[in-house]
């Protein structure tokens, strides 16, 4: 599906903030109220599931105007699904799929993470993330992934990279 097909779900968001927290019936102390890792770190609504839905809806209505801040918000979602679980305690709407489609749209438009983090920095041991050159993809052995043709560059996947990026990398030789 595409982002446009989730417009009705994005319009259902009431900004109630349920996506940020564990359902109140389950809270056992203030230290464990946050369910969303990015809202726990940034504590700003746009980093929540509902915030991302509102941004996606605004982009659909007003056109896709990418900024580094917007891309930072899009790519700082760990895609864990906790916002969807908490939201569905109160609402019957899809949260994760529109966020995933928004990220896919960004990648398809050539807008990737503006600051990819430690996982993509060259390590002093050689290779990336501590892997020796030529061994960076060894973690994926046995996952039945289609092996991409040899390229002059390699797609490195870290914990911060989304399912959308993985989906696009697996479907090579599609240009990024």
Do 51 and 59 meet the contact criterion of CB atoms below 8 Å apart? no
Contact 106, 71 (CB under 8 A): yes
Report if pTM > 0.75: no
CATH of the domain at 83: 1.10.1060
CA torsion sign for 79, 80, 86, 92 is positive
Interval 120-138: pLDDT, tens: 344 444 444 444 455 556 6
Count of domains forming the chain: 1
Which regions in the chain score pLDDT beneath 50?
A: 118-132, 151-176
115 in a structural domain: no
The whole-number pLDDT of residue 123 equals 40
Q: Is 173 inside any structural domain?
A: no
- Please report whether residue 118 resides in a domain: no
């Amino acid at each position: 599906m595409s982002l446009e097909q989730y417009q009705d779900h994005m319009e259902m968001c009431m900004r109630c903030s349920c996506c940020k927290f564990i359902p109140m019936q389950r809270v056992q102390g203030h230290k464990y109220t946050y369910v969303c890792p990015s809202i726990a770190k940034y504590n700003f609504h746009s980093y929540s599931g509902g915030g991302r839905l509102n941004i996606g809806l605004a982009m659909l209505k007003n056109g896709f105007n990418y900024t580094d801040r917007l891309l930072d918000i899009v790519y700082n979602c760990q895609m864990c699904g906790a916002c969807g679980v908490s939201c569905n305690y109160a609402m019957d709407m899809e949260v994760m799929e529109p966020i995933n489609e928004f990220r896919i749209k960004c990648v398809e438009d050539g807008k990737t993470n503006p600051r990819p983090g430690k996982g993509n920095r060259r390590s002093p041991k050689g290779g990336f993330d501590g892997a020796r050159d030529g061994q960076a993809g060894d973690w994926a052995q046995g996952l039945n992934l289609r092996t991409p043709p040899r390229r002059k560059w390699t797609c490195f996947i870290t914990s911060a990279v989304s399912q959308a990026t993985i989906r696009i990398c697996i479907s090579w030789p599609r240009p990024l």
